[in-house]
Amino acid sequence: MLCPSRVFPLLLIIVFFIMIGVLLKPNVDLAPGWKDLSSHANLADYKVKTHKGYVSMEELNENVFQKFGYEIIRPTYPVPTLKMTHEPTCDNVFSEWKRIFKLPQPDIPVDTIPADRLEEFTLYNYTALGSFYKNDKNSKEGERPRNWDKLSELIKMPRQQLGGLAYGKDGVSMFDAMQAHRLDNMSGVVIGSMQPWVEVSALRSGVSKVLTVEYNNLTIQEEFKNRMSAILPIDFVTNWHQYAGKFDFAASFSSIEHSGLGRYGDPMDPIGDIREMLKIKCVLKPGGLLFIGFPLGTDAIQFNAHRIYGSIRLAMMMYGFEWIDTFSGDSEQPNDLTSERLHAAPLFGLVQNTLVLRKI
């Protein structure tokens, strides 16, 4: 039998190890319905779907994530949870963006990825590459800003009609997400908007102020100028200190998947979309919400039209955020983004949902 004088130190040691375990547990929550396969996992045992078939998380860690400066910290499924090994400071994020933005650009967007950047763009071949060429640089036919003078009509539109203005059912997911996560009296920023339906969805959720960052000049209807304003991306970046950690929420739908592909006359940048996520993170308050929609499917680039986000690129995009909910537009309620749902469409097929993320 153990005598009490021996049991006590033993208990202390046990308590010590339990506390170490609690302290070392990564501070990342899972989205409802997501499976955390194991916190002591052998990454070779867990596979996600790619255009090459099922690939282990160990292989992705070595061949993709580490090359981009990330590492898997939890084998969550269908999107592994990553940490960035050397997260850039906000100063770096904005100054790098500005440097790249000022590089000289071709008159006509290129139709093939430059050979020396191919591996970065295709995630070292783990992203499928297809072609779908669009030239929207200074295009007259392309979409132009619309309905900024009709805000008083938009503000009264029913859910389906407002959400459906630009993207049909997919756009309704933004309206639903902002109703489920009310934004009463909050202030936020919207990235990239041809039509003000995201902004109006935010106003309908109780928002008091919304700033739109957009390449086109917008003329906002007079009665809304107390609640809405707009700024060009270059001015937003130049004055970023003014916005650092300031917004309660940010929103963007069908915009950042284009960043860095050159289609809109923007500079070629393999991680243009990831830079946008880091910029948004810098201007959100801790705990601030991000409502974001971009194409979901199996990882692919249809050059130069857009990227499609699957298990690999989604993992990198989500860094620094906790995934709270996913809305599809099919129902006002959120759904679980299972592997089946993520890969429901064939390769190069896509669906745009609104993901609700919280800045960690």
Ligand X SMILES: *[C@@H]1O[C@H](CO)[C@@H](O)[C@H](O)[C@H]1NC(C)=O
**Residue 82 in contact with residue 331, Cβ under 8 Å?**
no
Q: Which of 254, 340, 233 is nearest to 297 (CA)?
A: 340
CB of 126 to ligand X, least distance (A): 9
Q: Which is nearer to ligand X, 27 or 217 (CB)?
A: 217
Q: Which is nearer to ligand X, 185 or 333 (CB)?
A: 185
**Coil, strand or helix at 48:** strand
Structure tokens at 82: 């990553």
Q: Which is nearer to ligand X, 4 or 114 (CB)?
A: 114
CB of 63 to ligand X, least distance (A): 7
CB of 208 to ligand X, least distance (A): 7
Q: Cα separation of 252 and 110, whole Å?
A: 26
CB of 217 to ligand X, least distance (A): 4
Q: Which of 101, 67, 74 is nearest to 238 (CA)?
A: 101
Q: Which is nearer to ligand X, 119 or 336 (CB)?
A: 119
Q: Which is nearer to ligand X, 121 or 167 (CB)?
A: 121
CB of 136 to ligand X, least distance (A): 12
Place of tokens 């499928």: 128
Which residues 6+ apart lie within 8 Å of 199 measured at CB?
A: 190, 193, 210, 212, 228
Using omega within 30 degrees of 0 as the cis cutoff, is the peptide bond preceding 42 cis?
no
| Maximum alpha-carbon separation in the chain | 88
**Residue 259 in contact with residue 220, Cβ under 8 Å?**
no
Residues in contact with ligand X by the rule CB under 6 A: 119, 124-125, 184-185, 216-217
CB of 216 to ligand X, least distance (A): 5
Q: Which is nearer to ligand X, 105 or 125 (CB)?
A: 125
The number of beta carbons lying within 10 Å of the beta carbon of residue 82 is 23
